[in-house]
Amino acid sequence: MSWFESFILGLVQGLTEFLPISSSAHLRLTAAFADWQDPGAAFTAITQIGTETAVLIYFRKDIVRIISAWFRSLTDRGMRADPDARMGWLVIVGSIPIGVLGIVLKDQIDTTFRDLRVIATTLVVMGVVLGVADRRAARDEAGGRHRAAKQRKSLQELSVKDGLVYGMCQAMALIPGVSRSGATISGGLLMGYTRESAARYSFLLAIPAVLASGVFELKDAGGEGQAPMAQTLFATVVAFGVGYVVIAWFMKFISSKSFMPFVVYRIVLGIALFALVGADVLSPHAGELSGS
């Protein structure tokens, strides 16, 4: 991998991590279309540390408050009803599914799930799911001629059951093309949460899973079939800078806008990818053996 490739891939990671379009799919597709070697799952996991560092900084006040309340709840039973302490426990609960499945499915994540046909399928299917969830949220917010607007839930109402559902949705993002934010936000919207609440919990929930995954994959970085460590770290720094700008924009965007542009983009990209693979313009394994 050249320095130019690492810069472009870091840029792609930063641009797509927080949008519901799948950063892992776009890293894989960028390599395939440019005829570069697939950067691999380790590269993806480590560069996500850069974007999650942007989350830590952007939500630093929330995170410090949550961690402080959670630690106090360990010794003070009265603190366990505190919303911030509950959020700390719910982030832990919601992180269990992806932790377990990430270990069980590691071989598939590195190989089978990176097939371009799998990515095309998940882009389209999850695009439809996100579209349905977004329309339901819009209908609740707007009401109608014969029905009043429906109040959607905030994170103050997050339960253990909902936290686990969020966690299962996040675990689906182990498959490139699903999108961590897309899956968890869709799950939140379908459970009746506001767009902002669904996105905020999605970002908080991702922190332990992404950081743990990145640290776990460090042992494979620079190894056979993986991108060199120096270029991987450079891409991680690029992803951090770009990611911080994107997350600030995205949180403002969802406060008043629909997710439909992302839905359309996902479906069009998935169909185009199916067409290219079907016409033999792209191999389902394009990039895996090419490049340097």
**CA neighbours closer than 13 Å in the CB half-sphere of residue 109:** 21
The answer to whether residues 35 and 10 touch, using CB atoms and an 8 Å cutoff, is no
Check residue 272 and give its pLDDT. 95
| Band (291; pLDDT cuts 50, 70, 90) | very low
Nearest of 196, 186, 194, 197 to residue 150 by alpha carbon: 194
| Band (290; pLDDT cuts 50, 70, 90) | very low
Residue-wise pLDDT for 87-128, tens only, equals 999 999 999 998 888 888 877 776 777 788 999 999 999 999
**CA neighbours closer than 13 Å in the CB half-sphere of residue 79:** 17
Q: Could you tell me which residue, 216 or 25, shows the higher pLDDT?
A: 25
Q: Output the six-digit token pair for 184.
A: 């968890």
Share of the chain above pLDDT 90, in %: 43
Q: Output the six-digit token pair for 120.
A: 């095309």
Nearest of 24, 209, 237, 14 to residue 110 by alpha carbon: 24
Q: Could you tell me which residue, 66 or 146, shows the higher pLDDT?
A: 66
Considering the entire predicted model, what is its pTM? 0.83
Check residue 112 and give its pLDDT. 76
